[in-house]
Structure 1
Amino acid sequence: MILAQTQTARRPVRLGLTLEHVLPKLVLAPSLVLALVCIYGYMAWTGYISLTPSSFLPMYELSGFEQYQRLLENDRWRVACFNLALFGGLFIGACLLVGVLLAILLDQRIRAEGALRTIYLYPMAISFIVTGTAWKWILNPSLGLEKLVHDFGFTSFEFSWLTDPDKAIYTLVMAAVWQSSGFVMAMFLAGLRGIDSSIIKAAQLDGASLPRIYWRIVLPCLRPVFFSAVMVLSHIAIKSFDLVTALTAGGPGYSTDLPALFMYAHAFTRGQMGLGAASAMMMLAGVLAILVPYLYSELRGKRHA
């Protein structure tokens, strides 16, 4: 009798433990299935389409690497890749420089730090479409900065970068740095606040100046933050589409074309599905070329730790 009562009491406990283990899996299952199908499934489908002669509609007869050969022989694609290298290098370098300097400034516990941090972070809260539109107004020769200076009486002033094919790419850099440098600042500020202050005090007792302390001691400790910032900024640069569309639309001509805009404007909208899929896979390869070495170094560091 006692044994039967004990077994009866154990059944709800076992049932509760089973539900505790199964219920989270059931809740996460739909999201996992959607991620597998809508992300990795479509990535695999895009990779397959890039190996077919698809045009307006998908075709499933394999044609090898014909689309990739067409892509590499396309002058506009080569210009887009060159623009990406120029834009990405300047964008990442400027964001790191501005972000680090702002983080060091705020790390000095200055007054109104909260307000300044909010101001610097505010551009990150808006979309690249809004950023592109705003900077298009600012840089418009007949509406923005140039007109403002002319109204002050300096009629010889000229700032026509937005309409100059050789300088228009730098307008993209300015707008992108304005939006993303605050995010980099927040990353480095969090890293700076995590460093033991006794290290800095010990260096100051040894007679080291503050700039030297940051250059020789503090910044080398932030190497993981540097890697993370470079990875995030590289991803933003490679997939940049909305900022270019709103600010320059790839012009003048296609002097500010980037691979994402090429994929949409030159491939998919012109009935070249296979070519667009090939360009998408090349962009994915660029992201993986940055992400995989970073993850490998992180995992290797954890193993040896």
Structure 2
Amino acid sequence: MTTSVNPVRRQKTASSFSGAADRWLPKLVLAPSVVLSLVFVYGFILITGYLSLTKSRLLPNYTFAGLDRYRQLFANDVWWTSAANLAWFGIPFIAICVVLGLFVAILLDQRIRAEGALRAIFLYPMALSFIVTGTAWQWILNPGLGIEKTLHDWGWTSVTFDWLVNPDKAIFCVVIAAVWQSTGFCMALFLAGLRGVDAEIFKAAQVDGASLPTIYWKIVIPGMRPVFFSVLLILSHLTIKTFDLVVALTAGGPGTSSSLPAMFMYTYSFNRGQLGVGAASSMMMLVTVIAVLVPLMYMESRSTRNGI
């Protein structure tokens, strides 16, 4: 005697299984990445935070020492020089990248000839590592090899461009190299945002008599707030973590005139046997990231809620 399965019940079972798979499959796929992030990102942040409260020197020492390492850090003149350099580097770097990236993106948005080739040229620096960029710009800015020597060979012997060996201007050499490498990336993000603007907006504004610069300034650019948020967030992150570019370009010199917090952290953690101080400086860098990230995220979420 044969029994037949109710087609309705079979359909419900298959539907239930499909629904469970849709709910759990993404979680199973993402679970390894989440676990690895929890261990190797947030787990090590917690370990570093605890090391900054210990007596660690050349090797980890888990004896609790309170805020001694932070007091030692804040009494270190090199740390304050690095913190000041972070502002001298970060503010011009972010401002120039945003302005140049937006300007180039607007030019490319006019559907000019050879747009693809120009995009590739502007994006090419992003394919290089910061070590390569720093080394190349060290040659270019070296008074005995680069721009100054070339101008002297051409007869302009009165021209001087010794920023690389000038303690007051060395940090701006880092700005120049960083802007050269990152402007193309900003251009790509802005261009993607511009290409998402409805062409009818331009036509309607031009019918009303608005010029092209006015359309961009008063209509298009204000509507690209999410793109600006992404660009500022990425550039701020690059600013705070910049290390290899400084090592290759100036090695933090002359003296400590171009040292940044990331370089200070590396030097004191691994070269000077002050692991606790290095951990404290890395935690201060984390605080700086949070201080930049939280206001940006708040402003973006507030704008989204208000429909701006």
Structure-1-length-normalised TM-score: 0.92
The within-5 A match list for 1:281-300 is 281-300=283-302
Q: Secondary structure at the match of 2:256?
A: coil
Q: Secondary structure at the match of 2:47?
A: helix
Q: 1:233-268: CA deviations, max 9, x gaps?
A: 010000000000000000000000100000011343
Q: CA RMSD in A?
A: 2.3
- Asked if 1 retains the 8 angstrom alpha-carbon contact of 2:229 and 2:300, the reply is no
Matched, 1:128 2:130: yes
Q: Secondary structure at the match of 1:156?
A: coil
* 1:16–1:84 CA distance, 2 compared to 1 (3 A): same
Residue in structure 2 matched with residue 146 of structure 1 by the alignment: 148
Q: Secondary structure at the match of 1:198?
A: helix
Instruction: State the alpha-carbon separation in 2 of the partners of residues 128 and 163 from structure 1.
Output: 20
**TM-aligned CA deviation for residue 303 of structure 1:** 5.2
* 1:148–1:22 CA distance, 2 compared to 1 (3 A): same
**TM-aligned CA deviation for residue 15 of structure 1:** 7.2
Instruction: State the alpha-carbon separation in 2 of the partners of residues 276 and 78 from structure 1.
Output: 14
- Asked if 1 retains the 8 angstrom alpha-carbon contact of 2:70 and 2:277, the reply is yes
Alignment match of 1:51 (pick from 27, 50, 53): 53
Give unpaired runs (5+ residues) of structure 1: none
Q: Secondary structure at the match of 2:258?
A: coil
* 1:25–1:217 CA distance, 2 compared to 1 (3 A): closer
Q: 1:150-175: CA deviations, max 9, x gaps?
A: 22222222211101111111110000
Matched, 1:214 2:227: no
Q: 1:49-93: CA deviations, max 9, x gaps?
A: 111121112122222222112111211010101100010000000
Matched, 1:2 2:3: yes
Residue in structure 2 matched with residue 62 of structure 1 by the alignment: 64
**TM-aligned CA deviation for residue 193 of structure 1:** 1.0
Instruction: State the alpha-carbon separation in 2 of the partners of residues 240 and 273 from structure 1.
Output: 20
- Asked if 1 retains the 8 angstrom alpha-carbon contact of 2:269 and 2:275, the reply is yes
Give unpaired runs (5+ residues) of structure 2: none
More displaced stretch, 226-235 vs 294-303: 294-303
Structure-2-length-normalised TM-score: 0.91
**TM-aligned CA deviation for residue 8 of structure 1:** 12
Residue in structure 2 matched with residue 188 of structure 1 by the alignment: 190
* 1:30–1:212 CA distance, 2 compared to 1 (3 A): closer
**TM-aligned CA deviation for residue 28 of structure 1:** 3.8
Instruction: State the alpha-carbon separation in 1 of the partners of residues 125 and 212 from structure 2.
Output: 30
More displaced stretch, 207-216 vs 14-23: 14-23
Amino acid of the residue matched to residue 188 of structure 1?
F
Residue in structure 1 matched with residue 41 of structure 2 by the alignment: 39
Residue in structure 1 matched with residue 232 of structure 2 by the alignment: 230
Q: 1:182-240: CA deviations, max 9, x gaps?
A: 11111111111111122222222222222222111111111221121111101000000
Instruction: State the alpha-carbon separation in 2 of the partners of residues 188 and 16 from structure 1.
Output: 41
Residue in structure 1 matched with residue 277 of structure 2 by the alignment: 275
Instruction: State the alpha-carbon separation in 2 of the partners of residues 5 and 202 from structure 1.
Output: 61
Q: Secondary structure at the match of 2:295?
A: helix
Equivalences, count: 305
More displaced stretch, 201-210 vs 251-260: 201-210
* 1:27–1:188 CA distance, 2 compared to 1 (3 A): closer
Q: Secondary structure at the match of 2:59?
A: coil
Amino acid of the residue matched to residue 103 of structure 2?
L
Alignment match of 1:178 (pick from 170, 177, 180): 180
Amino acid of the residue matched to residue 2 of structure 1?
T
- Asked if 1 retains the 8 angstrom alpha-carbon contact of 2:94 and 2:235, the reply is yes
* 1:27–1:222 CA distance, 2 compared to 1 (3 A): closer
Instruction: State the alpha-carbon separation in 2 of the partners of residues 230 and 26 from structure 1.
Output: 33
